[in-house]
């Protein structure tokens, strides 16, 4: 099919679509370029409004400075650990749950589904959740990051939906081959669902990567994720500013803010290109052996 496409002549539609996509790329990328430029510019140039898309007074001071912040690399490592660990646990739990829940004939299916949906709209509030997690003796351990948030209802529902779309005949064939349900999930459903799993995995990974609040309340200083660090630098002055405290008095140079944003988001941004190879319907229905 792709081969066929390649030889087709370019139509006006193609030109329009490609032109539109170029525009999208520009709109989405320019702010990053701007921040990159800021992070590499001298503070004087920034204050004097000279920086646009390319660094003025190129220097790496901002990066040097954030690398000297105590615990920066430690926090970075923590975040990577939470992201990988959290995503794996989450995918495991969600896949099990979603596969079972994709079978509408199971008894209690509707009830559980409603439990899942309704819980999206209610939360017990901060203090009860905090008490629960601290009563389970999870606070101050990495498990407080990894376990309580392993199932996200939104992702779960999306995954259930994807599993449901897999034709039943494929499963029937697997059953004939002598597989049990665990086997079907592992050998048939999961390989068939790589785009869905990659999507959910990405969403989950980004959740863990970006989380700072749970890190703040459940963990100790040396376990803090890097996003808490980012927030402190980027928001610290913007959100507080209530009293005549230090926050009103001193601000952090824009170059440093930008450098922190770049360093703490780059790794998660390159995750998607890496996952994109799963976005091929490698196995189509027809290619599954009967």
Partner 1 sequence: MTDTTMVSKSPRDNVTPRSSSSRHFRRYWQLYVMMLLPLCHFILFKYAPLIGNVLAFRRYRPGMGPYGTEWVGWAYFERFLQDPAFWRAFNNTLILSFGNILINFPIPIIFALLLYEVRSKRFRKFVQTISYMPRFISTVVVIAILGELLSPSSGLLNRVLGSLFGMDPIYFVNEPQFFRPIYILTDTWQYTGWTAIIYLAAITGVNREMFEAAEIDGASRFQKVIYVTIPSIMSTIMVMLILNVGSLLSLGFEKVLLLYTPSNAAVSDIIDTLVYRTGLMNQNYSYATAIGLFSGVIGVILVSSTNWLSKKMSGESIY
Partner 2 sequence: MSKKKIVSLALASIMAMSSLAACSSKNNNGESASPSPSAGSSSQASTTPNKAEDKLKFSIFYSDNATLPFKEDWLVVQEVEKRFNVDIHFEVIPIADYQTKVSLALNTGNNAPDVILYQSTKGENASLALNGAIVPISDYSDWTPNFNAKVKEFGLENDLAALNLKDGKRYYLPSLYDKPFYDGGLILRKDLLEKYGQQEPKTFDDLYNVLKKFKAENPDSYPLTILAGPRVLYRMTMPSFGISVGKNGADGSRTLSWDYEKQTYFPGAISDQYKEYMKFFSKLYAEGLLDPEMADPIDGDKWSTKLATGKSFASYAYYDQIGGVEGAATEAGFDLQMYPPLAGPAGAHHQQKSRTGSGIMFPKKTADRKDFEQLVKKIDEIFFSDEGSKIWGLGAEGVTYTMDGDKIKYADEIVNSPNGIYKTMQLNYGAGSDVTQLVWVNAREMTKYDENYSQINATVASMKDPIQAIPPTPMFDDMTAEEAASLQTPLYDTFEVWADGFLTGKKSLDKDWDKYVKEMKTLQIEKFTQMYNDNLKK
Write out the residues near partner 2 by the rule CB under 8 A.
43-44, 46-49, 69-70, 106-108, 111-112, 115, 126-128, 130-132, 134-136, 139-140, 213, 216-217, 220-221, 228-229, 231-233, 235-254
Partner whose footprint covers residue 94, from partner 2, partner 1, none (CB < 5 to 8 Å by kind): partner 1
Partner whose footprint covers residue 162, from partner 1, partner 2, none (CB < 5 to 8 Å by kind): partner 1
By the rule CB under 8 A, 288 interacts with partner 1: no
By the rule CB under 8 A, 36 interacts with partner 1: no
Binding partner 1 (rule: CB under 8 A), the pick from 198, 219, 228, 259 is 198
Partner whose footprint covers residue 43, from partner 1, partner 2, none (CB < 5 to 8 Å by kind): partner 2
C-alpha span between 86 and 201 (Å, rounded): 10
Interface of this chain with partner 1, residues 200 to 259, rule: CB under 8 A = 202-203, 206, 210, 230-231, 234-235, 238-239, 257
3-state secondary structure the chain: CHHHHHHCCCCHHHHHHHHHHHHHHHHHHHHHHHHHHHHCCCHHHHHCCCCCCCCCCCCCHHHHHHHHCCCHHHHHHHHHHHHHHHHHHHHHHHHHHHHHHCCCCCCCHHHHHHHHHHCCCCCCCHHHHHHHHHHCCCCCCCHHHHCCCCCCHHHHHHHHHHHHCCCHHHHHHHHHCCCCHHHHHHHHHHHHCHHHHHHHHHHHHHHHHHCCHHHHHHCCHHHCCHHHHHHHHHCHHHHCCCCCCHHHHCCCCHHHHHHHHHHHHHHHHCHHHHHHHHCCCCCCHHHCCC
From the CB of 68, what's the least distance to partner 1, in Å? 22
In the bound state with partner 1, the residue whose beta carbon lies nearer, of 222 and 239, is: 239
Partner whose footprint covers residue 240, from partner 2, partner 1, none (CB < 5 to 8 Å by kind): partner 2
Partner whose footprint covers residue 81, from partner 2, partner 1, none (CB < 5 to 8 Å by kind): none
In the bound state with partner 2, the residue whose beta carbon lies nearer, of 141 and 186, is: 141
C-alpha span between 233 and 251 (Å, rounded): 9
From the CB of 139, what's the least distance to partner 2, in Å? 6
By the rule CB under 8 A, 268 interacts with partner 1: yes
From the CB of 238, what's the least distance to partner 1, in Å? 5
In the bound state with partner 1, the residue whose beta carbon lies nearer, of 38 and 222, is: 38
Contacts of residue 237, defined as CB under 8 A and 6 or more positions apart, other chains included, come to: 247, 248, 250, 251, 252
Size of the site for partner 1 (CB under 8 A): 107
Binding mask 51-90 for partner 1 (x = CB under 8 A): ----------------------------------------
């Amino acid at each position: 099919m792709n081969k066929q496409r390649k030889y087709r002549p370019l139509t006006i539609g193609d030109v329009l679509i490609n032109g539109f996509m170029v525009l999208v790329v520009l709109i989405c990328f320019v702010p990053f370029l701007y921040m990159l430029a800021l992070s590499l510019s001298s503070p004087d140039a920034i204050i004097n409004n000279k920086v646009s898309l390319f660094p003025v007074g190129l220097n790496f001071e901002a990066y040097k400075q954030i690398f000297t912040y105590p615990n920066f690399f430690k926090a970075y490592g923590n975040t990577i650990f939470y992201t990988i660990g959290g995503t794996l646990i989450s995918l495991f739990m969600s896949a099990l749950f979603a596969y079972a829940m994709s079978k509408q004939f199971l008894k209690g299916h509707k009830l559980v589904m409603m439990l899942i949906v309704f819980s999206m709209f209610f939360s017990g509030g901060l203090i009860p959740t905090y008490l629960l997690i601290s009563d389970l003796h999870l606070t101050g351990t990495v498990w407080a990051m990894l376990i309580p948030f392993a199932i996200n209802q939104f992702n779960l529902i999306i995954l259930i939906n994807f599993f449901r779309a897999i034709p039943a005949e494929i499963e029937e064939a697997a059953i004939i081959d002598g597989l049990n349900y665990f086997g079907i999930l592992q050998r048939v459903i999961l390989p068939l669902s790589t785009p869905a799993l990659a999507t959910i995995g990405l969403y989950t990974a980004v959740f863990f990567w970006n989380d700072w609040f749970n890190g703040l309340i459940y963990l100790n200083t040396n376990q803090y994720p890097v996003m808490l660090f980012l927030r402190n630098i980027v928001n610290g002055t913007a959100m507080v500013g209530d009293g005549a405290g230090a926050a009103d008095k001193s601000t952090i140079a824009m170059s440093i803010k930008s450098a922190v944003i770049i360093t703490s988001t780059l790794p998660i941004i390159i995750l998607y290109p890496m996952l994109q190879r799963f976005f091929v319907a490698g196995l189509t229905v027809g290619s599954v052996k009967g």
